[in-house]
Structure 1
Amino acid sequence: MIRTQSVRFIVALFSLLVAFSVQAQKLPNVMVLATGGTIAGTGASSTTTVGYTAATVGVQQLINAVPEVAKVANVTGEQVFQIASESMTNEHWLTLAKRVNTLLAQPNVDGIVITHGTDTLEETAYFLNLVVKSRKPVVLVGAMRPSTALSADGPINLYNAVILAGSPEAVGKGVLVSLNDQIQSSRDVSKTNTSTPDSFRTPELGVLGYMQGNKPYFYRASTRKHTVETEFDISNIQALPQVDIVYGYANMNDVALNAFIAAGAKGIIHAGTGDGSLAAKVKPSLIAARKNGTLIVRASRVGNGILARNGEANDDELDFVVSDTLSPQKARILLMLALTKTSNTKEIQRMFYMY
């Protein structure tokens, strides 16, 4: 009788293990690549939501803090960097992008989540949107409050990002940004507040969708080409061309512009006032810079709207490029990548209207 009970117990245990194994195989395989930021930050107390130290918590600790992710995906982590995102560089981007492409080429990786500081999250996301060569989901996630805060938003943001990265609905949507229960386009989203959890917004064009009840709901998609549809290949690129941003303001002069050019800038993003207006003290220097071979892209500091070609300047005559709806910081990214392909302004303008 005891032997029979033992056999039944062993059979039941084996069946349970098989069931767990089958369930695990059904779950998507999601890699979490950690780069630091507030989501990995710690504060002096549970009420510290500003003045904390970013990038102190490792990737495995981040994952372990959200045990619920084990129910929605087979999650593994890798620490790529451990920095505050204001210190993100072109070199970091190239390293990260190459690692993402390597991982997505593996059949046992279904999607990738990248934890990132919020200060430059939108820039990293757009860079990856242009150079990742896979339709598999890539989701950038961060937090506006450190992991030690009473109301830390990192855990739920990470949980939602893992679900999104493992979902069939996110396939082919480009690189996504997920915070505050919202799904945003990496091309269009911006950080709009210094400290509140709802900082990431796309004011005029709107969110792509929402995370609710452990499921993504998409309501629109970007019409701009991305990921596998782009012409950019960074597999053999070791460094990106230097492109700098000159910010427009009242009483503006050309000191910063000339300094960037003297320092070797191959391209300048002019973040002008209004519709990319050119101040009288700066316009001659921009014209001279273009004649000497520096690419000039007119953008706007406003934050929304289409930059009109031949609007505030005769772009055709001056051989300038306009940024379309891209923010200055994202225009810089596209121009850097464009310059790895060509210096023809007509071709580069095509890229700005395409991506």
Structure 2
Amino acid sequence: MSIYVIFTGGTIGSSNNDNVINTDSSIQEYFISIYKEKYLCEHNFKCMNPYTILSENLGAHHLRLLINAIKEVLSNKDVEGIIVNHGTDTLQYTSAILSYVFSAINIPILLVSSNYVLSDLRSNGLINFHFAIKFIEQFNFGGVFVSYKNENDIPYIHFGTRLSAPLLFSADISSVNDSWFARFEKDVLKYNDAYNYFTAQNHLFDFNDDINLYKLSDGEILWIRPYPEMSYTCPSDNTKAVLHESFHSGSIAVNDDMRRFANECCKKNIPIYITGLEKNEAVYDNVNEYKKLGFVPVYGYSPIALYCKIWLSICNDLDISEVVKKLVAFDMI
């Protein structure tokens, strides 16, 4: 089996020197060596390294390099799976971007990260890598996924578009509404019966499309998180869309300041997408209030995935309102 491994840095590609963690160019060879030794692996790994960063420094430039590296790998007929070693801080963003760009792929792409550097006995990097390989061995379809084992848990495979935001003071990974794709029980892949992988999907891009991705100018996507006594900033003439998160129940405060903001968006034809609502559940009265003001509920989305979907739409001149409605890469629960 021919598996390509793309190294990008992150904790999984770093070392700890005098209690300071930074990327380490020697990790790539060391990683493959200790993995093969520990798991008696005989697979043929082919390695690439388009860039090396701590993932908190991720930008559009790095994502373009990664997309192009994956396209280069896919031009090889022998490839049966791709593993991207990535930092945990921005794992959710990269997994979502890759999911949308490569939604039509016919082999699995797995993102793998680590909670601690490899020399730390608490590190789960090799375990996450191992179960990415196990997934490639047992899964005969395409898509972008994340392989991760939380502390005191079993290994899970997550859809690349369904990851929740990072938790403070924790390296654990979870899917929104517990919508993981599969998990391993004693090395055997078990699918989540609640979700049908074979649901028909739309695609934003074809393999041969040139993907544009660049740093957006200030305010093109206005991302708002609610908190008590918050003040709304008026959208600029440059704003293309508003991504508004809600409290866990899908509600937010409806007051004069919010009404003024909604009216400004309406005048400028700026859509306001609000996350956090579940279909077929009772809603609080404020939900009906903000719907009247033009807020568009988007059901079952990870806010990070929605941000990435809108970002790609802006950069590639796609109709945002049409793209948001489409089920792509299993992004809507």
CA displacement, residues 254-275 of structure 1 (integer Å, 9 cap, x when unaligned) = 23x54xx36x332221123341
Residue matched to 2:152: none
Residue matched to 1:282: 258
Deviation at 1:99, TM superposition (A): 2.4
Q: Is the 8 A contact 1:72 1:163 kept in 2?
A: no
Deviation at 1:101, TM superposition (A): 2.9
Residue matched to 1:217: 190
Query: What SS does the corresponding residue of 1:30 show, helix, strand or coil?
Result: strand
Q: Is the 8 A contact 1:144 1:195 kept in 2?
A: no
CA displacement, residues 96-128 of structure 1 (integer Å, 9 cap, x when unaligned) = 223223322421111100111111212211221
Q: Is the 8 A contact 1:118 1:142 kept in 2?
A: yes
Q: Is the 8 A contact 1:33 1:59 kept in 2?
A: no
Residue matched to 1:182: 156
How do 1:27-38 residues align onto structure 2 when only pairs under 5 Å count? 28-38=1-11
Q: Is the 8 A contact 1:246 1:271 kept in 2?
A: yes
Structure 1 residue runs without a partner (length 5+): 1-27
For the aligned residues, what is the CA RMSD?
3.4
Q: Is the 8 A contact 1:55 1:84 kept in 2?
A: yes
Deviation at 1:298, TM superposition (A): 1.3
**Alpha-carbon distance between aligned partners in 2 of 1:239 and 1:348, rounded to the nearest angstrom:** 16
CA displacement, residues 50-79 of structure 1 (integer Å, 9 cap, x when unaligned) = xx4243354333222312467252111111
Residue matched to 1:330: 305
Q: Is the 8 A contact 1:249 1:272 kept in 2?
A: no
Alignment partner for residue 132 of structure 2, among 150, 157, 161?
161
Of all paired residues, the percent bearing the same amino acid is 19
Change (3 A) 1:193 1:316: closer
Query: What SS does the corresponding residue of 2:77 show, helix, strand or coil?
Result: coil
Structure 2 residue runs without a partner (length 5+): 150-154
Q: Is the 8 A contact 1:276 1:298 kept in 2?
A: no
**Alpha-carbon distance between aligned partners in 2 of 1:34 and 1:344, rounded to the nearest angstrom:** 32
Query: What SS does the corresponding residue of 2:6 show, helix, strand or coil?
Result: strand
Change (3 A) 1:176 1:211: same
More helix by share: 1
Highest CA radius of gyration, 1 or 2?
A: 1
**Alpha-carbon distance between aligned partners in 2 of 1:221 and 1:128, rounded to the nearest angstrom:** 24
User: Is 2:233 the partner of 1:265?
Assistant: no
Change (3 A) 1:286 1:41: farther
**Alpha-carbon distance between aligned partners in 2 of 1:37 and 1:275, rounded to the nearest angstrom:** 34
Task: Report the residue type matching 1:218 in the other structure.
Answer: Y
**Alpha-carbon distance between aligned partners in 1 of 2:65 and 2:320, rounded to the nearest angstrom:** 28
Task: Report the residue type matching 1:294 in the other structure.
Answer: I
Query: What SS does the corresponding residue of 2:21 show, helix, strand or coil?
Result: coil
Query: What SS does the corresponding residue of 1:252 show, helix, strand or coil?
Result: coil
Deviation at 1:352, TM superposition (A): 5.9
Q: Is the 8 A contact 2:7 2:50 kept in 1?
A: yes
Relative contact order, higher structure (CA 8 A, sep 6+): 2
Task: Report the residue type matching 2:305 in the other structure.
Answer: K
Residue matched to 2:231: 253
Deviation at 1:177, TM superposition (A): 0.7
Task: Report the residue type matching 2:148 in the other structure.
Answer: L
**Alpha-carbon distance between aligned partners in 1 of 2:274 and 2:169, rounded to the nearest angstrom:** 30
Alignment partner for residue 205 of structure 1, among 164, 167, 178?
178
Deviation at 1:83, TM superposition (A): 1.4
**Alpha-carbon distance between aligned partners in 1 of 2:168 and 2:36, rounded to the nearest angstrom:** 29
Task: Report the residue type matching 2:32 in the other structure.
Answer: I
**Alpha-carbon distance between aligned partners in 2 of 1:112 and 1:226, rounded to the nearest angstrom:** 23
Task: Report the residue type matching 1:43 in the other structure.
Answer: N
Change (3 A) 1:344 1:239: closer
**Alpha-carbon distance between aligned partners in 1 of 2:23 and 2:63, rounded to the nearest angstrom:** 17
Change (3 A) 1:322 1:73: farther
Moved more, 309-318 or 268-277: 309-318
Residue matched to 1:350: 325
Q: Is the 8 A contact 1:130 1:227 kept in 2?
A: no
- For normalisation by structure 1, the TM-score amounts to 0.75
Change (3 A) 1:200 1:77: same
CA displacement, residues 296-354 of structure 1 (integer Å, 9 cap, x when unaligned) = 21124xxx845979971567765543221112222111222344354463x24522697
Q: Is the 8 A contact 2:262 2:294 kept in 1?
A: no
Q: Is the 8 A contact 1:128 1:227 kept in 2?
A: no
Query: What SS does the corresponding residue of 2:245 show, helix, strand or coil?
Result: strand
User: Is 2:103 the partner of 1:130?
Assistant: no
Task: Report the residue type matching 1:177 in the other structure.
Answer: V
Task: Report the residue type matching 2:271 in the other structure.
Answer: L
